[in-house]
Amino acid sequence: MAYSAPSQLHVPLMERRGAWVIRVFFIIGLLALMLGFLHFQLSKSYTFQWKLAFNFLPYFNEGLLLTIKASLVAGVVGVVLGLVIALARLSPFMQLRDLGTLYVHTFRNVPFYVFVLIVYFGFGRAIDVRPLVEAMGGIVDERLFWAIAALAVFDAAFISEIFRAGILSVHATQKEAARSMGMSATQAMRYVILPQAFRNVIPALTGELIALVKESALLFVISLRELTLVARELAAHEGNTFEFYTILAVYYLILTLPLAGFSHLLEKKLSLDDRH
Amino acid sequence: MSALGLQQDVWWGRSLQLSWRVSVLCAILFALGWFAYQGLADSYDFQWDKALRFAPRYHSGLLMTLQVSAVAAVGATVFGLLIALGRLSPWVLVRDLAGLYVHTIRNLPFIVVMLVFFFGLRKGVGLDSVTVFGHTFEAPFVWGSITLTLYEASYMAEIIRAGIQSVRSEQMEAARSMGMTYLQAMRYVILPQAITVIIPPSTGIFIGMVKESALLSIIGLPELTRTAVDLFAPVRRPYTFEFYLILAGYYLMICVPLSFLSQWLEGRLGTHSRIGEEAARGI
């Protein structure tokens, strides 16, 4: 029997196949109404100067670049560190497991804001990293170095949890099969377990990158001129706080929403793959 | 099986093993910490005695942190439930709106939402201080708790939604077929079953609230972090390291018990908090 599309008769009007256009228009319309009303109400007591604010977009773009740079580098370092911690937490040595657990639980229970303060105003004062920074050839300056270090060390705790869950999600028989073929425990981990774990872990890692971007907003506290500090400086200088902070929010959404969508799609695809 | 071959079949075997484990961990930590400390002390002059003298002054900040987190916890639970019901509503447009709210807020840093609210909306709305039962709450507290509530509600909504969806749909059908309205079925059938799934991960959200509340220091709420920064600022005391380490200790003091509570509840209720953990990180 030839395939025929299921009847749409019993599907509610707004959930039929073409209805997404109406939904999008409805949402946009409603948003425009709400924002318009808000704008109208606020403009009674507040003078909006959007034109003036838009003149400063190049500054925002510079901040955006720095935000991307800090979160990407910290993401890469954090993944390496997180993998090491995850392996420590799954190691046969009790002490390594305990240390890994302690690391994760400490960082999960301290605000990132406080951690940045400790790293920059504590370790940053006690340890002179200028030789190291110069050795890296000026890719990062001292401030950015500490910012990336703070982000990476902090997020490694969360990334390690993702990896641990990913490794544990690979069925135990895989390891047994690998070992029975004569692989060592390390080889089994390297060639059999980790490749499968990595695949399962990518959506969650993408989500972690979003978290990194969001956390990088706090780096303004050590005067790293990323998006948030740019907006704060402009707001302090020009006085148009609302416009600048709204632009700031939009910039973050431009960064994070595609990542969230990507993560969601991957997750969907992986769960479809796992069905058979 | 234990590394030392400790006896497992006697009643004290477990606690002996545990105390051995803890003492080894402490020894390793002490050694690592001591080396790090010696290395740092070469170039940094630690003045713990001076820093510790100020530690009692943190207590008012601690109280404020707990207050604002408690207000936000209640607010976020109520508002999060509303958003979750919105996301599960039979009307697709309501679902879309609730989804828009959740996805927008979850993908913004807390500080950005806070800046927009405090330095943007506050000027227009004109709500500054609120008096409840003769006690006046200042603008930073009012707006801080509003922002924290609205922000964390988006995470809470996802947890509550996951909890409600974990209850099989037959339960709703059965309740509806017995003549209950949608809201009655939710109230008397679905939510009581969902609550066991919701509670453990929501402790993770409460930890998140305590942590996010550190940012309220930026809008001038005199909470823990603000007290530490204020103590440091007036005379530019050179021992920031000590101040901020003590500050971290205070946060650990609030959050670690909560995190143990979460683990305990997880074991007790037989659910696992991965949902909450991931929701809390915006994944």
Q: Note whether A111 contacts B225, CB cutoff 8 Å.
A: yes
Is residue A39 in some structural domain?
no
Indicate whether B225 and B189 sit together in one domain: yes
pLDDT in the model for residue B283: 35
pLDDT in the model for residue B4: 53
Is residue B43 in some structural domain?
no
Cα–Cα distance between B66 and A134 in angstroms, integer? 44
Using a 10 angstrom Cβ sphere, with 0-12 exposed, 13-18 middle and 19 or more buried, the burial of residue A186 is exposed
Is residue B261 in some structural domain?
yes
What ipTM, to 2 d.p.? 0.83
Domain count, chain B: 2
CB A215 within 8 Å of CB A78: no
Residue B44 at interface with chain A, using a CB cutoff of 8 Å = yes
Query: How far, CA to CA in Å, does A220 sit from each of A69, A174, A200, A233, B242?
Result: 15, 46, 34, 10, 21
Indicate whether B78 and B148 sit together in one domain: yes
Indicate whether B18 and B106 sit together in one domain: no
Q: Does the pTM exceed 0.95? A: no
Indicate whether B199 and B235 sit together in one domain: yes
Q: Note whether B252 contacts A110, CB cutoff 8 Å.
A: yes
Is residue B146 in some structural domain?
yes
Indicate whether B21 and B85 sit together in one domain: no
Is residue A81 in some structural domain?
yes
pLDDT in the model for residue B34: 86
Residue B36 at interface with chain A, using a CB cutoff of 8 Å = no
Q: Which domain holds residue B229?
A: 50-280
Is residue A196 in some structural domain?
yes
pLDDT in the model for residue B120: 80
DSSP codes of every residue in chain A: ----PPP-TTS-GGGSGGGHHHHHHHHHHHHHHHHHHHHHHHTTTS---HHHHHTTHHHHHHHHHHHHHHHHHHHHHHHHHHHHHHHHHTSS-HHHHHHHHHHHHHHHTS-HHHHHHHIIIIIHHHS--HHHHHHTTSSS-HHHHHHHHHHHHHHHHHHHHHHHHHHHHS-HHHHHHHHHTT--HHHIIIIIIHHHHHHHHHHHHHHHHHHHHHHGGGGGGGT--SHHHHHHHHHHHH--HHHHHHHHHHHHHHHHHHHHHHHHHHHHHHHHHTT-
Indicate whether B9 and B79 sit together in one domain: no
Cα–Cα distance between A24 and A27 in angstroms, integer? 5
SS3 state at B130: strand
Is residue A24 in some structural domain?
no
pLDDT in tens, chain B (283 residues): 444 555 556 667 778 878 888 888 888 888 888 888 887 777 777 777 777 777 777 888 899 999 999 999 999 999 999 999 999 988 888 898 999 999 999 999 999 999 988 888 887 777 777 777 777 778 888 899 999 999 999 999 999 999 998 888 888 899 999 999 988 998 899 988 888 888 888 888 899 899 999 999 888 888 888 888 877 665 566 667 788 888 898 899 889 888 888 888 877 776 554 444 444 454 3
Cα–Cα distance between A164 and A90 in angstroms, integer? 7
**Residue B87 is encoded by which pair of tokens?**
């996301």
Domain count, chain A: 1
SS3 state at A138: coil
Max distance between CA atoms of chain A, in angstroms, equals: 77
Q: Which domain holds residue A83?
A: 56-273
Low-confidence ranges of chain A (pLDDT < 70): 1-9, 274-276
Q: Residue B96 carries which side chain, given as an amino acid letter?
A: D
φ, ψ at B221 (rounded to 5°): -80, 125
Is residue A41 in some structural domain?
no
Choose the mutation target among B6, B91, B108, B148 for the interface with A, i.e. most A CBs under 10 Å.
Answer: B108
Choose the mutation target among A113, A116, A247 for the interface with B, i.e. most B CBs under 10 Å.
Answer: A113
Indicate whether B9 and B92 sit together in one domain: no
Contacts of B28 (CB under 8 A, 6+ apart): A95, A99
Cα–Cα distance between A220 and A199 in angstroms, integer? 34
Query: How far, CA to CA in Å, does A101 sit from each of A166, B34, B176, B259?
Result: 16, 20, 46, 13
- Read off the pLDDT of residues A100-121 as tens digits, 9 standing for 90 and up: 989 998 998 899 999 998 898 8
Looking up residue B103, the CATH number of its domain turns out to be: 1.10.3720.10
CB A146 within 8 Å of CB A124: yes
Indicate whether B145 and B178 sit together in one domain: yes
pLDDT in the model for residue B155: 92
pLDDT in the model for residue B195: 87
Shortest CA distance from A252: residue in chain B = B108
**Terminal alpha carbon distance of chain B:** 37
Residues of chain A with C-beta less than 8 angstroms from the C-beta of B40: 123, 126-127
Q: Note whether B112 contacts A252, CB cutoff 8 Å.
A: yes
**Residue A233 is encoded by which pair of tokens?**
């400086």
Looking up residue A168, the CATH number of its domain turns out to be: 1.10.3720.10
Closest Cα of chain B to A25: distance in Å? 11
Cα–Cα distance between B92 and B167 in angstroms, integer? 21
Is residue B41 in some structural domain?
no
Closest Cα of chain A to B136: distance in Å? 24
Q: Note whether B256 contacts A105, CB cutoff 8 Å.
A: yes
Cα–Cα distance between B95 and B179 in angstroms, integer? 25
Q: CA angle at residue B152 from B270 to B190, to 5 degrees?
A: 45
- Read off the pLDDT of residues B23-75 as tens digits, 9 standing for 90 and up: 888 888 888 888 888 877 777 777 777 777 777 778 888 999 999 999 999 99
B25 vs A95, A217, A242: nearest CB: A95
Cα–Cα distance between A246 and B87 in angstroms, integer? 26
Is residue A4 in some structural domain?
no
Is residue B237 in some structural domain?
yes
Indicate whether B5 and B95 sit together in one domain: no
A245 vs B93, B103, B119: nearest CB: B119
**Residue B235 is encoded by which pair of tokens?**
């005379």
